[in-house]
Every structure is written in structure tokens, then in C-alpha cells.
Amino acid sequence: MSIDPVLARIDETLPEATERLLALLRIPSISTDPAYKAECDRAADWIVEDLKDLGFDASKRPTPGHPMVVAHSGGEGPHLLFYGHYDVQPVDPLELWDRDPFDPELQDTAAGKVIRGRGSSDDKGQLMTFIEACRAWKEVNGSLPRNLTIFLEGEEESGSPSLIPFMKENAEELKADLALICDTGLFESKTPAIVTMLRGLLGEEITIKAANKDLHSGMFGGAAINPIRVLAKIIASLHDENGHITVPGFYDGVPELPDEVRAQWQNLAFDHAKFLGDVGLSVPAGEHDRTPLEMIWSRPTCDVNGIWGGYTGDGFKTVLPSEAHAKISFRLVGSQDPHVIRENFRNHIRTMVPFDCEVSFHGHGASPAGQMEISDPAFEKAREALTEEWETPAAYVGCGGSIPIAGYFKSVLGMDAMLIGFGKDDDQIHSPNEKYDLESFHKGIRSWARVLDKLTAE
Ligand code: BES
Ligand code: MN
Ligand code: MN
């Protein structure tokens, strides 16, 4: 059977598909903020209803946090499971948005049509590419692709606290031959990509306390230790002059790239100057002996994501603060162990805290890096499907971001995962004015139809 009628159907119904995505984008399903709990629920309900309309056996499944959505198409054949997340990041700073983040619209820009709104690219637009492919398939063939499971989460942006228990409790139902994940990007804007390596993530929050109250820096300054200065010195020492991270044992488990992967990445002809140039930069800031592509795909990092203390309001105040805080994250690669690194980091910091100061820690998420097993012939089939759609050979790439479930599919359910996504580097995910190109959405839907066609062919 030819896939062409399904592709034609996708082209004809793009306006309706876009309207459905806009409707989902209007639901402010911010998972990290408890004030939006009911909205997360509403987003899950919206998708369940849509999947039921489509003929899936779909349900909203409670967890201690936000609900999961699980849907099955039924039937025989290879069992494929699709994963995406319906939750979105908070919108702050709101004043930098050109419009209400939850009043999305299709806009004409110099670079083409874009769907603007929080979650358009991460990840509602992407998860809808798969659902729309199923819809067109059903409308043309009379039935859904067989033996599909759709599994959507509402807590990805808050570290997926309910995910592992849910996967364990529902292992029989969720275990499939292969997981498909749509939460990553294209390789440069016209080249489709399958992600084979993802970085892990470790979050730490640190507080330095000094005097038992805020002080006047005229009265005490010089004599009383300033915790912001202590914290700044600690943070400055986390990298050496070559960009290496100084936490003891940090590089244990960081592999050198296998030669064939290095060669393959060289073939990608990544435009390093453009990558940095697009965001107003020119000089790579990582380890001196690495290329930017290595820096974002295969090397670990330590970044300060936030730092605060003292007086930061308008005007000026000569306070000598009693506390200083920072949020620090590590991107991990290879077999770096997040729990070991957490301990090493804390112990390392403790050795640097001077007299009269106290340090305390608060841990955030800890997920190891993911390495995808691509020997399954499904990978080559999907690559062919993507190459046909984009008319540029699909690339095997790394991903600097983190999607903890990619690793859990293997460690909890023993299944491989294939990551295919259509986001672009300038989508501004997590930032103001997030967008998804209409082309990403349209060709994303077409791509999934082609991938499903290849993967479900007898
Ligand atoms: N979709 C992103 C991961 C991603 C980022 C893929 C950049 C491709 C490029 C995902 O939703 C995400 O934001 N992950 C977080 C971690 C999560 C545990 C909050 C991240 O990478 O910071
Ligand atoms: Mn995402
Ligand atoms: Mn995200």
C-alpha cells in the first residue's frame, strides 16, 4: 500500500491540524507550578478526548503528581510505543513575550510561518505531529496503525518524579518492541536527525550562611565575612583555566568519542561559527581542546543557572548579606554517575567553606546520560523514511539536552528508544516567544506517517 494518499491527506488537513494544536497550546499546563495543577489535568483530558475520537482506547491515569495519558490502538504486529510530554515550562520573564504565551497564533515571519506560544515546540507541537499522522492514516486507511501505544507525561519539565514508579507498575502494558520519542530537534534546519546520545543532568542548590543577620556594610564591612564573596570564589574555582571542571573524580566515566562517531560528526559539517553567531557569540567557552559540537554533545558541563543574595532591587543598598545562594547544574555523558558526582561535589565545596560560614545543599534531579542502541533494523528504516521526506540524508546526532525517560525505557522496561524530533535551534524553547515552524509541524507529521509506514510494513 502506498503512503502517498496519507501524505496528501496531511497536506489537505494542515489548517485543521494547526487549529487543534492551537487549542492544546491554549491550556497553560505548567507542571512545576502547583497553581496550574488543574490546567495540567485539563491538558491530559483534552488529549484523551482527542485520542478517543480517533479510535484509540485512551485513558487519563492518575499519579501522585500530574496524570499520564495512555492509549492503545490494538491489533497485532510489532508493538511501538510513542512518548511525548504535554507539560510546559513556566513563562517568566513574561514582559519579554510579544504576546500572551497561552494565546498562541500562526504568524507570518520573514523566515516563514511559525506557530507562536509556550509549548509549541517543547513539546505539544511535537507530540501532535505523531497524533496527526495517526489521524491522517486512520482517515485514509479506515483504521489506526496497528499495535501502537501512546504514552504521554505531564511532569517532564519538573524532572519526571512519577515516571519510574508508573513504568514499573504498568510494565506489562507499556513494554513494547521499540519506543519512539518526539522531543528533540532537526540537525540544522533542513536535515532530519535521529539522536543516539543524550546528556544526563544533575541539579544542586547551594546556600552559604555567614552572620546571623543582614548587616550594615559601613558598620561591619571588612570585619564580617561576606557570603556572596565566598560563593563567588567557590563558583569561580569550579573550572580551571582550560575549561576543565575541578570537582574530584568528575571525569570518571567520560569516554573519548569512538573514531567512527568522530568521523561521522565531522561529515556533518556543522557550522560552528553560525551556531554561536546566531546567538551573538563568537568564541567557544568550553574546554580549549574541543570543538563546539563536542562541547554540546559529548562533553560534560557545570553551569550556574541562578545566583542570588543581598540587595538586587532598584536603586542601591549597602547591605552585607547573611546568605548567598546558587543553582548549579551538571550535564553528564558516558557512564558518569550522578549520585557519585553529587557526593563529590558536596564534599569538594565543604573543603572550601571558610570559618564562620556554613554551607547547605538541596538536591534536584539526577539522571545519567543515555546511549541509544541503534542496531535494531528499525533505525535504518526510520532513517530512510526521514531521508525521503526531507530530501537530505538523516543524520545520527548527539543531543546536549536531557530527556530522562530515554534511558529509563532501557533500564526499567528493557526496550530501546528512537529519538526523532523536528525542533530548530532558534525555537526558543523554555524562553520567551517560543515558536515551532509550521514546516516543522507539517513535515513532522509527514515524517511520522512515513516512519510508521516503514516500521509497520509486513
Ligand atoms: N525537550 C527538552 C530536551 C531537549 C533540549 C531536547 C534541547 C533537544 C534540545 C526537554 O523537555 C527538557 O527541557 N529537558 C530538560 C531536563 C528536564 C529534566 C527538565 C533539560 O534538558 O534541561
Ligand atoms: Mn521537551
Ligand atoms: Mn523542555
Sequential DSSP letters for 11-70: HHTHHHHHHHHHHHHTS--BSS-GGGHHHHHHHHHHHHHHHHHTT-EEEEE--SSSPEEE
The rounded Å distance from CA 400 to ligand 1 centre is 9
What is d(CA 60, CA 42) in angstroms, rounded to the nearest whole number? 10
- pLDDT value at residue 1: 78
Residues 386 and 439 placed together within one structural domain of the fold: yes
Q: Which of 366, 398, 414 is the last residue of a domain?
A: 366
| Residue 309 CB partners (closer than 8 Å, separation 6+) | 227, 228, 231, 321, 323, 324, 325
The rounded Å distance from CA 458 to ligand 3 centre is 36
Residues 217 and 191 placed together within one structural domain of the fold: no
Domain assignment present for 125: yes
Q: Which of 366, 400, 418 is the last residue of a domain?
A: 366
Q: Which residues pair with 204 in a beta bridge?
A: 328, 363
Residues 228 and 95 placed together within one structural domain of the fold: no
* Cell of residue 116, nine digits: 507562536
DSSP state of 256: P
Residues 181 and 124 placed together within one structural domain of the fold: yes
Ligand 1 atom 14, closest CA:
402
Residue range 436-457: mean pLDDT, rounded: 97
Q: Which residue type does 260 have?
A: E
Give the count of domains, the chain: 2
Is residue 427 in contact with ligand 1, taking CB distance under 6 Å? no
The rounded Å distance from CA 26 to ligand 1 centre is 21
Per-residue pLDDT tens digits for 259-289? 988 998 999 989 999 999 999 999 999 999 8
- pLDDT value at residue 457: 87
Pocket test for ligand 1, best of 129, 275, 364, 403 (most atoms within 8 A of CB): 403
- Which ligand has the shortest distance to the CA of 86? 2
* Cell of residue 440, nine digits: 516543522
pLDDT tier at 427, thresholds 50, 70, 90? very high
Ligand 1 atom 1, closest CA:
183
The rounded Å distance from CA 184 to ligand 2 centre is 7
Domain assignment present for 269: no
Residues 189 and 238 placed together within one structural domain of the fold: no
What is d(CA 226, CA 41) in angstroms, rounded to the nearest whole number? 45
How many Cα atoms within 13 Å fall on the side-chain side of residue 353? 19
Is residue 402 in contact with ligand 1, taking CB distance under 6 Å? yes
| Residue 280 CB partners (closer than 8 Å, separation 6+) | none
- pLDDT value at residue 455: 96
Residues 182 and 237 placed together within one structural domain of the fold: no
CATH code at position 387: 3.40.630.10
What is d(CA 315, CA 379) in angstroms, rounded to the nearest whole number? 58
Is residue 156 in contact with ligand 1, taking CB distance under 6 Å? yes
pLDDT tier at 405, thresholds 50, 70, 90? very high
pLDDT tier at 252, thresholds 50, 70, 90? very high
Is residue 122 in contact with ligand 1, taking CB distance under 6 Å? yes
The phi, psi pair for 293, rounded to 5°, reads -65, -40
Domain assignment present for 289: no
Domain assignment present for 58: yes
Residues 106 and 156 placed together within one structural domain of the fold: yes
pLDDT tier at 157, thresholds 50, 70, 90? very high
Tell me whether strands 395-399 and 193-198 are parallel, antiparallel or unpaired: parallel
Domain assignment present for 170: yes
CATH code at position 214: 3.30.70.360
CB atoms closer than 10 angstroms to residue 16: 11
- pLDDT value at residue 88: 98
Is residue 398 in contact with ligand 1, taking CB distance under 6 Å? no
Q: Which atom of ligand 1 is nearest to the CA of 85?
A: 11
Contact 72, 149 (CB under 8 A): yes
Q: Which atom of ligand 1 is nearest to the CA of 183?
A: 1
Residue range 148-152: mean pLDDT, rounded: 98
Per-residue pLDDT tens digits for 24-35? 999 999 999 999
Is residue 403 in contact with ligand 1, taking CB distance under 6 Å? yes
Domain assignment present for 169: yes
The rounded Å distance from CA 211 to ligand 3 centre is 38
Pocket test for ligand 1, best of 29, 120, 122, 296 (most atoms within 8 A of CB): 122
Range of the domain at 349: 201-254+300-366
- pLDDT value at residue 269: 87
Length of the chain: 458
Block residue for cell numbers 496503525: 145
Is residue 163 in contact with ligand 1, taking CB distance under 6 Å? no
Ligand 1 atom 18, closest CA:
159
Q: Which atom of ligand 1 is nearest to the CA of 122?
A: 1
Residue range 233-258: mean pLDDT, rounded: 97
What is d(CA 448, CA 421) in angstroms, rounded to the nearest whole number? 10
Domain assignment present for 72: yes
pLDDT tier at 221, thresholds 50, 70, 90? very high
Residues 11 and 69 placed together within one structural domain of the fold: yes
Report the chain's terminal Cα–Cα distance, integer Å. 11
What average pLDDT is seen over the chain? 97
Residues 332 and 382 placed together within one structural domain of the fold: no
Is residue 183 in contact with ligand 1, taking CB distance under 6 Å? yes
The rounded Å distance from CA 215 to ligand 2 centre is 43
pLDDT tier at 310, thresholds 50, 70, 90? very high
Domain assignment present for 264: no
Residues 192 and 206 placed together within one structural domain of the fold: no
Taking the CA atoms of 351, 357, 363 and 366 in sequence, report the sign of the dihedral they define. Answer: negative
Please check the confidence at residue 458 and state whether its pLDDT lies above 70.
Answer: no
What is d(CA 376, CA 374) in angstroms, rounded to the nearest whole number? 5
The rounded Å distance from CA 395 to ligand 1 centre is 20
Nearest alpha carbon to residue 440 among 65, 85, 111 = 111
Residues 327 and 435 placed together within one structural domain of the fold: no
Per-residue pLDDT tens digits for 314-370? 999 999 999 999 999 999 999 999 999 999 999 999 999 999 999 999 999 999 999
CB atoms closer than 10 angstroms to residue 194: 21
The rounded Å distance from CA 152 to ligand 3 centre is 14
What is d(CA 392, CA 166) in angstroms, rounded to the nearest whole number? 38
Q: Which of 340, 366, 392 is the last residue of a domain?
A: 366
Residues 309 and 409 placed together within one structural domain of the fold: no
* Cell of residue 215, nine digits: 548587616
Please check the confidence at residue 223 and state whether its pLDDT lies above 80.
Answer: yes
